[in-house]
Amino acid sequence: MLTVRRLKGDDVEAYRAIRLEGLENAPDDFASTLAREQAFSRGDFIHRLESGCALGAFEGDALVGIVGLVVATGEKERHKGTLVGMYVRQSARGRGVGQALIEALLAVATGEVEQVNLAVAENNIAARKLYERCGFDTYGLEKRSLKYCERYFNDVLMVRFL
């Protein structure tokens, strides 16, 4: 049975493990790097969980997927949230985990923000199709959005108005 809930400090070990797994298995799909986040302390990960909105999908006691919501704080931007850090373990893919995470995130965002934005790697077709199924529309392409090891990566920019 799949459950999705907000992650808290007690979930730090499971969260850290899945976050590092995502960075290792899909390094081109994230703005951060494995080396950068391996250097983070346990306290850094606890702070991330307790200061923001991170959701986790659980099958029993096993954390199989994560996603975050960052709400803008600027006076003219606080109507926007950004979906970040989406990752579903390979073993849990194809069973609706990603969609459940996004639906839970949108439920949290509703009433807090008017829209949710995201950036997804141009070559991550599966993720783009998932976001489209969840009602996100493409509004742009940021060429050379990221640069790592002398390679550039383009991001597709998407939005869902609530």
Q: What is the mean pLDDT of the chain?
A: 97
Flag whether 136 is in a domain.
Answer: no
Q: Which long-range contacts (CB under 8 A, 24 or more apart) does 103-109 make?
A: 103/134, 104/4, 104/55, 104/67, 105/53, 105/55, 105/67, 105/69, 106/134, 106/160, 106/162, 108/6, 108/53, 108/55, 108/69, 109/69, 109/81, 109/162
Flag whether 73 is in a domain.
Answer: yes
- Whose tokens are 């976050």? That residue is 19
pLDDT in tens, 5-26: 999 999 999 999 999 999 999 9
Flag whether 156 is in a domain.
Answer: no
pLDDT in tens, 120-142: 999 999 999 999 999 999 999 99
Q: What is the largest CA-CA distance in the chain?
A: 43
Flag whether 89 is in a domain.
Answer: yes
Give the pLDDT mean for 130-159: 97
Q: How confident is the model at residue 109 (pLDDT cuts 50, 70, 90)?
A: very high
Give the pLDDT mean for 39-45: 97
CATH number for position 94: 3.40.630.30
Flag whether 52 is in a domain.
Answer: yes
Supply the pTM of this predicted model. 0.95
Q: Which residues contact 86 (CB under 8 A, 6 or more apart)?
A: 65, 66, 67, 68, 98, 101, 102, 118, 127
Give the pLDDT mean for 76-94: 97
What is the residue range of 42's domain?
A: 2-114
Flag whether 160 is in a domain.
Answer: no
Count: domains in the chain? 1
Flag whether 26 is in a domain.
Answer: yes
Flag whether 126 is in a domain.
Answer: no
The confidence score (pLDDT) of residue 20 equals 98
pLDDT in tens, 21-41: 999 999 999 999 999 999 999
The confidence score (pLDDT) of residue 52 equals 86
